[in-house]
Chains A and B, each alone.
Chain A
Amino acid sequence: MPHQLEPENWVDRYADYLYNYTIVKVSDPVVAQDLISETFLAGLKSKDNFKGEASERTWLIAILKRKIIDHYRKRNSKKGKAEVRIHYNDNESEGDWLEERVEDLSDRTAEDEMENKELGLAILQCLDSINETQAAIFKKKTIEGMDTEAICNEFNITASNLWVIIYRARKSLAECLNKNWF
């Protein structure tokens, strides 16, 4: 069966995923939000071009990727000339040769970050495959760190309902991650 587009569900289904995807690449929350907003609108405009071969998510990501590239193009053209500054004379590293500064094995943060971002996307993708309400409640509790009581009020459930949902969500998430990540 070919995939279909359901724009009325886009925000609930993909906003968090696309947000985490974008923020790695532009590292500015507001820009990321704008790009996603543009992506959804562009998707809506060109929804007749959707052939149903790819999933909704893949299709939206394809649009988003172009938006991100455009964003960098615009920014670069605004800047005019690229400018590279190298300070040779800061006191701390005086006397070091450039070659010595190039490779810093202790600086693994960038790479670690990247792996973590992919992990984040894997988690969100797994959450997509479980029951929608369960996923929503799990996200609120675990990612946003909302109070049990506040969530219970919002979804009109009791605390023990909530813990059953959390239990099930954690179980399915763990199974999914074991299959796809670890």
Chain B
Amino acid sequence: MIKFKITCNESNHICDKSQYREASFWEKLKLNIHLLYCKFCREYTANNQKLTKTVKEAHLKTFPKTKKEALKEKLHQEMDK
């Protein structure tokens, strides 16, 4: 039998995964059922979604990894001088 009831910990975990679109259909269904009766997790989910949206809106960029390595190398050479 499929277990529909999940704990708050499980619910938070599924919520985290779904922020990265990695939760399965069943997981999302279980999460939504849980959210129907759990106020705490509803709050957690709302905050989590807000965070995802915020980070997305910031259009952050990371310094390219290969360039980082090259730069480290360069700094090391300079430091040894």
Contact = CB atoms under 8 A, between A and B. Distances in A.
B64 A33 contact: yes
Classify chain A: how many residues form its interface, as a range. 35 or more
Contacts of B39: none
A170 B52 CA distance: 9
Given A11-B72, A41-B75, A170-B51, A20 B12 contact: no
Contacts, number: 87
A15 B63 contact: yes
A123 interface: yes
B60 A123 contact: yes
B16 A167 contact: yes
A173 B52 CA distance: 11
A167 B76 CA distance: 35
Residue in B47, B58, B71, B74 with the greatest tally of chain A CB atoms within 10 Å: B58
Contact of A19 (B47, B55, B61, B75): B61
B57 A177 contact: no
A150 interface: no
Interface string B39-76: 00000000110010011011111111001100110111
Q: Is the interface of B mostly helix, strand, loop or mixed?
A: helix
Contact of B60 (A11, A33, A36, A124): A124
Contact of A33 (B63, B75, B79): B63
A37 B54 contact: no
Interface stretch (A64-72, A77-85, A89-97, A136-144): A136-144
Contacts of A142: 20, 55
A143 B54 contact: no
Interface residues of B, number: 29
Q: Is the interface of A mostly helix, strand, loop or mixed?
A: helix
A36 B63 contact: yes
Nearest to B65: A144
Given A33-B63, A116-B58, A143-B62, A15 B47 contact: no
Given A11-B72, A16-B61, 12 more contacts: A12-B68, A19-B61, A19-B62, A33-B64, A40-B71, A117-B58, A117-B59, A119-B57, A123-B58, A163-B13, A167-B13, A170-B48
Interface of A: 7-8, 10-12, 15-16, 18-20, 23, 29, 33, 36-37, 40-41, 44-45, 116-117, 119-120, 123-124, 139, 141-144, 148, 163, 166-167, 170, 173-174, 177
